[in-house]
Copies of this chain bind each other. A is one copy, B any other.
Amino acid sequence: MANPLTRKLEAFAPLPEADRRLIDDICRNPRDVGPREDLIREGDDPRDVQLILEGFACRYKLLPNGRRQITAYLIPGDFCDLHVFILRAMDHSIATLSPCRAVAIPRHRVLELTERPAIARALWWASLVDEAVLREWLVGVGARGADERIAHLLCELLMRLRTVGLATDGAYELPITQAELADTVGLTHIHVNRVLQRLRAEGSITLKGKQLVILDVDKLMAFSGFDVNYLHLSESNGKKEPCR
């Protein structure tokens, strides 16, 4: 299968063959990381940039009150922190959720990437999308009810996984626990469980083990108020009117 980074960047614009080869070259010698391992910790000085090739990782922050908030999922093709090396210390941590395959890219190789105009533009686009996703999560936690919030997240993951070839129709693997989901959407794992039961009972999804199937994608998107536009996929321009 194609390199997930290439697939993702080409969702923005096609890359020259030489650029694709550079990406393949950079992704040699990946390493396997077990589940629930920190890749970078808050307070660390960021050095190498991590790129996820397989599995799920996340950004998270621990609070004095003992709670944890996950602020992003990193899926295959996502960079941990392309631009942070300008900062002295990480303000959050990054950990694997599932077992992952990742590459640590040294800074000089990152610069090789950003010297290629097509890649640079695509990475720029990708970082704008990451920010849009973050905003959308804030909108969810701040203004959507529990059911819509979780349904929205499932829709988002579907779309993101599709662009790297990891979802077909409405089905994909969701290798995280309900407790991790809870830390993502700002609910307790118990409440997350109840919401998932409800979504199953309604016939919206099936979820056995780690296999998720969204039975009627359009319906779930409508229910959760999901509007693809924020992912800025080139195909999806102007499908829906924004709310006024």
Please, which residues of chain B bring their CB within 8 A of the CB of A64? Answer: 225, 243
From 60 to 81 in chain A, residues with beta carbon under 8 angstroms from any chain B beta carbon are 61-65, 67-69, 71-72
Closest residue on chain B to residue A61 by CB atoms: B139
Tell me the complex Cα distance, A141–B185, Å.
10
Q: Is the CB of A87 within 8 A of B125?
A: yes
Please, which residues of chain B bring their CB within 8 A of the CB of A142? Answer: 69, 141, 183, 185-186
Least Cβ–Cβ distance between A168 and chain B, in angstroms: 26
Given A41-B242, A86-B128, A142-B186, A135:B135 Cβ within 8 A: no
Please, which residues of chain B bring their CB within 8 A of the CB of A143? Answer: 63, 65, 67-69, 183, 186
Number of copies: 2
Q: Mark A74-94, 1 if CB is under 8 A from B, else 0.
A: 000000000110111101110
Which single member of B43, B71, B230 contacts A138 (CB below 8 Å)?
B71
- Whether A238 is near chain B, meaning CB under 8 Å from some CB there, is yes
Q: Mark A110-127, 1 if CB is under 8 A from B, else 0.
A: 000000000001001100
Q: Is the CB of A65 within 8 A of B238?
A: no
Q: Is the CB of B135 within 8 A of A86?
A: no
Closest residue on chain B to residue A242 by CB atoms: B42
